[in-house]
Structure 1
């Protein structure tokens, strides 16, 4: 079984979903510490200035707390209004906006649960059919950290192959995984370019931008535009 383990993020970029597409099972890594200044609760969308940062307000956010110990703030309606304003003329707005609206409409005060639902809902729209797990619900050695914790999760779920995004190269070593009888690989997202209105392409925006400008029939090609090394 091929497995990915990632923190839940706020409408992450395409590479996150290419990672989900590349594996059989996906673990929402909700019992790790929240990182201030990271991408757990923010991302970029297209704007007249090129790109604009959306930030989900939080309650009780602290680097001393786990992601699943933090609450969602009070600006979901404002963010949804901004998305509607920026993308109302996008070619696939009528298809994509209800998906975004559904995510924002759920009453889920827990940050990890809200973000996890969003990732899963987008995966469903994209046609990704992974088996999902929550790391907080997996019986594991709570004293482990970093690479050792990831390996323990892999072993508990019976994974034979662990796949991570490029940033994981500084965190995980192939020899360590091989010692545990597992393969370690990294996904290299491709340079997938698409038309955004009539302007020059602005890369690495939220998946919101991707689904607003791409026909669902092109999702299989878009999700497969990566290599695994």
Structure 2
């Protein structure tokens, strides 16, 4: 069984959905510390040919809290966020296909940050036809005081994973030999460039899935999610860090 584990992000770039599509089970962290100024509650969109941030406003609280303990701000302006997207993309070729999805995602009324993000993830995956099984990290019976690689390994073993796939940055974070010692193969997913037209201007790459949905059909994105990446194996420690195509 192939497994990936990630923290939730708000409408992330296409590599996140490629990771979901590449595995049988996708575990979403809820009992992990919220990262300030990361990508959990914000992402990038296209505005006048340049990248610009959009975000979910959060209630002021301790930065030490887990994602599941954070909440949206009481004055989070849903209409303002929708207007940002509408202003930027109303003439995009797939705006009419995409905007109703965004309205439904943004309109979700639960103020809990994790549940809001998890809902947006599941809705976007359904729109893209991804049917990977989701699990929530805190609901899996392991020692949740474990950290980093030890926690990942425990989660892998708890669900019976024989292959663990991480984003490409995982090559620097994890020891492939430690996974092999537990009978688990470690791989990392590297997204290939995906050029597409953005109002006839030079492409601004790696924006939120919102941008890709505005300029590409779902059928096209399904092909990109399924095929437009490489799986890379971490080398044995004695191999001086060489990588091998999977």
| TM-score category (smaller protein) | over 0.9
Structure 2 counterpart SS, 1:71: coil
User: Which of 215, 218, 221 matches 1:219?
Assistant: 221
User: Residue 22 of structure 2 corresponds to which residue in structure 1?
Assistant: 22
> Mean Cα displacement is larger for which, 4-13 or 58-67?
58-67
Structure 2 counterpart SS, 1:72: coil
Distance 1:140 1:80 in 2: 39
Structure 1 counterpart SS, 2:54: strand
Query: Offset of 1:142 from its aligned partner?
Result: 1.9
Q: Does structure 1 residue 109 correspond to structure 2 residue 111?
A: yes
Structure with larger Rg: 2
Structure 2 counterpart SS, 1:39: coil
User: Residue 179 of structure 2 corresponds to which residue in structure 1?
Assistant: 177
TM-score, structure 2 normalization: 0.90
Cα distance, 1:158–1:107 mapped onto 2, change above 3 Å: same
Distance 1:174 1:114 in 2: 33
Q: Does structure 1 residue 228 correspond to structure 2 residue 202?
A: no
Cα distance, 1:22–1:35 mapped onto 2, change above 3 Å: same
Q: Residue deviations 1:127-173, cap 9 Å, x none? A: 11100101111111022000000111111111111100011122211
Residues 36 and 62, structure 1, Cα contact 8 Å, conserved in 2? no
Residues 44 and 51, structure 2, Cα contact 8 Å, conserved in 1? yes
Query: Offset of 1:68 from its aligned partner?
Result: 0.5
Query: Offset of 1:76 from its aligned partner?
Result: 2.6
Q: Residue deviations 1:160-210, cap 9 Å, x none? A: 111000111222111000111101000010101111111110101000000
Unmatched 5+ stretches in structure 2: 233-246
Equivalences, count: 229
TM-score, structure 1 normalization: 0.97
Unmatched 5+ stretches in structure 1: none
Q: Residue deviations 1:8-52, cap 9 Å, x none? A: 001101111111111111111111001111110111100015111
Structure 2 counterpart SS, 1:59: coil
Structure 1 counterpart SS, 2:47: coil
Distance 1:52 1:27 in 2: 29
User: Residue 168 of structure 1 corresponds to which residue in structure 2?
Assistant: 170
Q: Compute the RMSD of aligned alpha carbons.
A: 1.1
Residues 49 and 204, structure 2, Cα contact 8 Å, conserved in 1? no
Matches within 5 A, 1:84-123: 84-123=86-125
